[in-house]
Structure 1
Amino acid sequence: MAAEVQTPATPSDRAPALDEAAYDRLRRRQWLAGEARADGVDRRTLLRMLAAAGALAAPALAAPVLAPARAAAEEVPRPVPGIVKPLPAEWFVPRGTNAEMRWDALRDADGDAAVGRHVPVERFFVRNHTGTPLIDPDTWRLKLFGTGLRGAPAAGQPVEFGLEDLQDLPSTRISALIECAGNGRSFYASQQGQAVPGTPWTLGGIGSASWRGVRLADVLRAAGLTRAAVDVLPAGLDPHYVTGGTDLGPVRRPLPVAKALDDVLLAYEMNDEPLTPDHGAPVRLVVPGWVGIASIKWVGTIEVADHPLYSPWNTDFYRLWGPDYPAAGTAPITTQVVKSAFELARGAVLEAGRGHRLHGRSWSGAAPVRTVEVSTDGGRSWRRADLRDEPRAHDWTRWSVDWRPEGPGAYELRARATDRRGNGQPERAVFNREGYLFGAVVAHPVTVA
Structure 2
Amino acid sequence: MSQQSYPVVKPYLKTHTLVPENQETPIEFIQNDTIPSRLFYRRNHFSYPSLSHSNYWLPINGLVSAPLLLSMQDLLQMPAKTVKAVLECAGDKRSFFKPKVFGEQWEKGAINQGFWKGVPLRTLLERAGLREGAKEVVIEGYDYGKTPDSDQVYTYARSLPIEKALHPDTLIAFEYNQQPIPFKHGFPLRLVVPQWYGMASVKWIKQITIINSHFSGPFQSIDYVYYPNKENNEGAFPVTTINVNSTIQQPRDMDILNRGNHIIKGIAWTGEGYITKVEISTDNGQTWTNAKMDNRDSGQYGWVLWSYEWAAGKSGEYVILSRATDSTNRIQPSEPFWNRKGYGYNAMDKIKVKIE
Give the TM-score normalised by the residue count of structure 1: 0.73
Higher strand share: 2
The answer to whether residue 333 in structure 2 is matched with residue 426 in structure 1 is yes
1:15-48 deviations in Å (ceiling 9; x for gaps): xxxxxxxxxxxxxxxxxxxxxxxxxxxxxxxxxx
Contact 1:176 1:208 in 2 (8 A): yes
1:323 to partner: Cα distance: 3.3
1:10-409 equivalences under 5 Å are: 90-96=11-17, 97-106=21-30, 115-146=31-62, 148-150=63-65, 159-189=68-98, 194-262=99-167, 263-323=169-229, 327-344=233-250, 345-350=252-257, 352-390=258-296, 392-409=299-316
Higher helix share: 1
1-structure distance, mates of 2:198, 2:234 = 23
Bigger RCO (CA 8 Å, 6+ sep): 1
1:330 to partner: Cα distance: 2.4
Name the CA shift for 1:243/1:353 in 2 (closer, same or farther; >3 Å).
closer
Amino acid of the structure 2 residue aligned with 1:90: P
2-structure distance, mates of 1:241, 1:410 = 47
1:407 to partner: Cα distance: 2.5
1:421 to partner: Cα distance: 0.5
2-structure distance, mates of 1:346, 1:247 = 42
Contact 1:319 1:329 in 2 (8 A): no
1:366 to partner: Cα distance: 1.1
1:339-362 deviations in Å (ceiling 9; x for gaps): 111113322222x13211111000
Contact 2:196 2:240 in 1 (8 A): yes
Contact 2:12 2:26 in 1 (8 A): yes
Identity %: 31
User: Which residue is 1:29 aligned to?
Assistant: none
Give the TM-score normalised by the residue count of structure 2: 0.91
2-structure distance, mates of 1:382, 1:438 = 22
2-structure distance, mates of 1:365, 1:403 = 29
1-structure distance, mates of 2:145, 2:10 = 29
Contact 1:387 1:399 in 2 (8 A): yes
2-structure distance, mates of 1:430, 1:203 = 17
1-structure distance, mates of 2:135, 2:179 = 33
1:324-380 deviations in Å (ceiling 9; x for gaps): 998434231100111111113322222x13211111000111121000001111111
Contact 1:242 1:248 in 2 (8 A): yes
Say which SS state the counterpart of residue 240 (structure 1) adopts.
strand
Give the number of aligned pairs: 342
1:215 to partner: Cα distance: 0.1
2-structure distance, mates of 1:216, 1:242 = 28
1:394 to partner: Cα distance: 2.3
